[in-house]
Structure 1
Amino acid sequence: MSSPDLLPLDTPAASAALVALRDVHLTFGTTPVLRGIDLDVHRGQAVSIIGPSGSGKSTLLRCISGLLRPQRGSVTVDGIRVDQLTTEADTIALRKRIGFVFQQYNLFPHLSVLDNLTAAPVRVLGRTKQEAEADAHALLKKVGLADKAHAYPGQLSGGQQQRVAIARALAMRPELILFDEVTSALDPETVGEVLNVIGELVDDGLTCVLVTHEMAFARAISDAVVFTEHGVVVERGPAEQVFSSPVSARTRAFLSRALSGHTGTRPPAYAPWHAAFASAAFAV
Structure 2
Amino acid sequence: MNRIAFEELAALTSVAARHDENAVSRAHGEGALLSLRDVHLSYGDTPVLKGIDLSVRRGQAVSIIGPSGSGKSTILRCINGLIAPQAGEIYVDGIDVRAQKTDAQRIALRKRIGFVFQQFNLFPHLSVLDNLTIAPMRVLGRSRAQAESDAHALLAKVRLADKAKAYPGALSGGQQQRVAIARTLAMRPDLILFDEVTSALDPETVGEVLNVIGELADEGQTCVLVTHEMRFAEEISDEVFFTEGGVIVERGTAQQLFHYPAHERTRFFLQRARGEDRAGRALRRA
Q: Which amino acid aligns with 1:194?
A: V
Q: Of the candidates 13, 17, 20, which is equivalent to residue 4 of structure 1?
A: 20
Contact 1:15 / 1:78 at 8 angstroms: preserved in 2? no
Q: Within 5 A, what are the aligned runs for 1:22-171?
A: 22-171=37-186
C-alpha deviation, 1:7, in angstroms: 5.4
Change in CA separation of 1:127 and 1:246 when aligned onto 2, cut-off 3 Å = same
Change in CA separation of 1:147 and 1:208 when aligned onto 2, cut-off 3 Å = same
Gaps of 5+ in 2: 1-17
Q: Which amino acid aligns with 2:166?
A: A
Change in CA separation of 1:138 and 1:33 when aligned onto 2, cut-off 3 Å = same
1:87-142 Cα distance to aligned partner (Å, 9 max, x none): 11010001001110000000000000000000000000000011000000000000
Q: Of the candidates 187, 197, 207, which is equivalent to residue 212 of structure 2?
A: 197
Q: Which amino acid aligns with 1:21?
A: L
C-alpha deviation, 1:267, in angstroms: 6.7
| Counterpart Cα distance in 1 of 2:253 and 2:145 | 43
Contact 1:9 / 1:15 at 8 angstroms: preserved in 2? no
Q: Which amino acid aligns with 2:57?
A: H
Contact 1:64 / 1:82 at 8 angstroms: preserved in 2? yes
Q: Could you say which residue in structure 2 is the equivalent of 1:216?
A: 231
Matched positions, count: 267
| Counterpart Cα distance in 1 of 2:71 and 2:228 | 14
C-alpha deviation, 1:3, in angstroms: 5.8
C-alpha deviation, 1:265, in angstroms: 7.3
Q: Which amino acid aligns with 2:143?
A: T
Gaps of 5+ in 1: 270-284
Higher helix residue share: 2
Question: Over aligned residues, Cα RMSD in angstroms?
Answer: 1.8
Q: Of the candidates 10, 14, 18, which is equivalent to residue 33 of structure 2?
A: 18
| Counterpart Cα distance in 2 of 1:40 and 1:15 | 10
1:225 aligned counterpart, secondary structure: strand
Contact 2:19 / 2:105 at 8 angstroms: preserved in 1? no
Q: Could you say which residue in structure 1 is the equivalent of 2:7?
A: none
1:17 aligned counterpart, secondary structure: coil
Displaced runs of 4+ in structure 1, greater than 6 A? none
Q: Could you say which residue in structure 2 is the equivalent of 1:174?
A: 189
Bigger shift: residues 13-22 or 156-165: 13-22
Change in CA separation of 1:5 and 1:50 when aligned onto 2, cut-off 3 Å = same
| Counterpart Cα distance in 1 of 2:283 and 2:34 | 34
| Counterpart Cα distance in 2 of 1:252 and 1:104 | 30
1:124-180 Cα distance to aligned partner (Å, 9 max, x none): 000001100000000000000000000000000000000000000000000100000
1:48-106 Cα distance to aligned partner (Å, 9 max, x none): 00000111100100111111111000000000000111211010001001110000000
| Counterpart Cα distance in 1 of 2:21 and 2:277 | 49
1:1-20 Cα distance to aligned partner (Å, 9 max, x none): x962575246x351321000
Change in CA separation of 1:127 and 1:184 when aligned onto 2, cut-off 3 Å = same
Contact 1:7 / 1:85 at 8 angstroms: preserved in 2? no
Aligned-residue identity in percent: 69
| Counterpart Cα distance in 1 of 2:205 and 2:97 | 35
Change in CA separation of 1:111 and 1:266 when aligned onto 2, cut-off 3 Å = same
Q: Of the candidates 227, 252, 258, which is equivalent to residue 267 of structure 2?
A: 252
C-alpha deviation, 1:261, in angstroms: 2.5
